[in-house]
Every structure is written in C-alpha cells, then in structure tokens.
Amino acid sequence: MKIVVVGQGAFGRKHLDALKNIEDVEVVSLAGGSPDSTEQVAKQYGIPHWTTNLDEALAQPGVEAAIIASPTQIHAKQAIQTMRAGKHVEIEIPIADNLADAEEIDRVQRETGLVAMAGHTRRFNPSHQWIHNRIKSGDLELQHLVVQTFFFRRKNINLEGKPRSWTDHLLWHHACHTVDLFHYQTGEAPSNVFALQGPKHPELGIAMDMSIGMTTPSGKVCTLALSFNNEGPQGTFFRYICDKGTYIARYDDLFDGNDKQIDLTGVAVSMNGIELQDREFISAIKEKREPNASVAQVLPAMRTLDRLEKSLNKWE
C-alpha cells in the first residue's frame, strides 16, 4: 500500500518509524511545511519524493492513503483535502481544534465513504488495551480515572527542544487524549463536565494550567490535571482506580497500585501504540471496514471538549 506522511516534525517521524515495522506498506511521499527539514527527513528515511504541496504528494502514482501529523490548526483542512482527492486518511490527535471543523470532517467522510481515522493512541497502547479488555469481560469496573498531563513548555518549543511553528493547546490537544479515553473505557458520554484554567501566557496566548472534571450517568469519575509549567518527567500518567485493584498506565507500560509492572505479553502484536494505530488504519482500508477510533467514534469526545471550552468561558 502506497501512502503519504504529512508532517516532517517529531510526530511525523514517529509514524515513519512505526511504518517501517508494517509489511506491505511503502511511504512514497513526505509532505512537510519547511522545504529544508522536509528534504532532510525524506532522505533520512529513504522516501523517494518530498514536497511542501499536499496535492502534489497525493497525486503520486498509486497513493491510497495519507497520515496527517502536521500542526493541529491545519488538520481539518488537510483531512478534507485528502478525502476530496479520493484518499483514505488518518489524522493525528486532535482531528481539529474546534467542534465545527470536526463535524465537517465527519460529514465529508460519510459523503465519500473513505476510511477516516483519528490518531487516538491511548486506545491502542497495550497498557490501556489490557484495562479495556478486562472492563469488557466484566473482570473490572472503573470507578475513578485520575490523570496528570505535565509538560514544561514556557517557550514555544517541542519535546526535542526545537522551535515550534505552531502553538499547542492543553484543552484541544492534550485533554483530548483523556476525554476520548474516558468515553472509550466507560462506554458513556459524560453527563457533567467542568473546566478551570489559570492565566494565559502573555506571548503564547494559551492557558498554562488547567483542571478538568467529568462524571458519567452511571457515576464514574475522571479527574484531569494539565500543566505546561511542570518541571520534571514529561508526559501523561493514568491511574485507574477500579473495584478490583488500581492500575497505573505510563504510555505502553502498566503497573499495579504498588508500582509492580504487569506483563502485557500477548495483548497486541507490538508494544508501540503508534505502530498499533497505524496497523489498524491499514487493516481497515484493506478489509473495507470502520476502524477503531474512526472519526465517527471520536466525535463524541470532540463534543465533550466543546462543552468543556464553554465551561472555561463561563468562569472567565
């Protein structure tokens, strides 16, 4: 299968690393934002064609699909552009930074019938899959999901310490992971939500600290703390407080409440969540089916984010 990767940054490269492990897939073009860095990454990964023009990349012979890992603000535009070109699309999280654009992506997907999937990696990390499988089987019941999303980002730089061409967002990007995961693990849309935020950064124009709370109709609770002001280990850490034990997910690894690591052997064919989500995208295209984390499936989470944004505005 010939595909295009859109975005030459850190996450575009994560997808390129993952795709190397998947059989019968060839990245035939890299569409980036900066000519110099796009060319550099294309040469590094042996990609035969590179461009800063998405239409040109999609027009390469035999291209069936694209994975979009460009800045958040252009996800919706590029996703629609890709589907209008007749190509399947996987859109990195979040699919859009507002509900209207997310709903338009969903509308175009239904109109074209193409596979449109969101890169909601938490659905695919073996750690969260282990929890999900036990909830589905009835072995576990989630009571409280407690999440910390902590970064140190007082300047507009990425995780590699390089300048960013776009501004990140705690709600529409980082909270999106947890909001969708809460939907996914409970099988419910929250009935009550609230969000509070601290002062906005004078240059970046975004809140640097945020607190989010959600409850489901059946009484399950989610507490999420987010910060761009935290010095120390960066990332997101999930504590599942359940009726039968407590479990802590750190990306692809899982521990019990006493920090004893849980063996995840056999949960999936890989321990790399990004590789697993890419495998699901490719399999869904080949099998002509809806993928896990399809745009339609993650749309409820986008609606919850919209409610949370309205809650933030209420308190300002």
Q: What gap in Å lies between CA 81 and CA 58, rounded to an integer?
A: 10
CATH class, 122-268+301-315 region: alpha beta
Quote the pLDDT of residue 205.
82
Place of tokens 């997808």: 15
Radius of gyration for the alpha carbons in the chain, expressed in angstroms and rounded: 19
Structure token pair of residue 6: 């859109």
Quote the pLDDT of residue 316.
55
Q: What is the pLDDT of residues 230-285, one digit of tens each?
A: 998 888 999 999 999 999 999 899 999 999 999 999 999 999 999 999 999 999 99
Q: What percent of the chain has pLDDT over 90?
A: 87
Structure token pair of residue 44: 């590094």
Structure token pair of residue 133: 């499988």
Whether residue 311 has pLDDT greater than 70: yes
Range of lowest pLDDT (66-70, 167-171, 234-238): 167-171
The model's confidence at residue 196, banded by pLDDT at 50, 70 and 90, is very high
CATH topology of domain 2-120+274-292: Rossmann fold (3.40.50)
Query: Hey, where are the domains in the chain?
Result: 2-120+274-292, 122-268+301-315
Which range in 147-151, 155-159, 182-186 is most confidently predicted, on average pLDDT?
A: 182-186
Q: What is the pLDDT of residues 141-154, one digit of tens each?
A: 999 999 999 988 77
Q: Which residues contact 106 (CB under 8 A, 6 or more apart)?
A: 116, 295, 296, 299
Beta pairing partners, 119 = 92
Q: Which residue has the higher pLDDT, 163 or 98?
A: 98
Q: What gap in Å lies between CA 97 and CA 46, rounded to an integer?
A: 32
Mean pLDDT for the stretch of residues 220-231: 95
Q: Which residue has the higher pLDDT, 28 or 160?
A: 28
Q: What percent of the chain has pLDDT over 70?
A: 95
Single out the residue of 131, 217, 219, 214 nearest to residue 176, CA to CA.
Answer: 214
- Using a cut of 0.85, tell me whether the model's pTM lies above it: yes
Rounded to the nearest 10 degrees, the angle between the axes of helix 273-287 and helix 10-19 is: 60
Quote the pLDDT of residue 232.
85
Quote the pLDDT of residue 159.
59
Mean pLDDT for the stretch of residues 114-129: 98
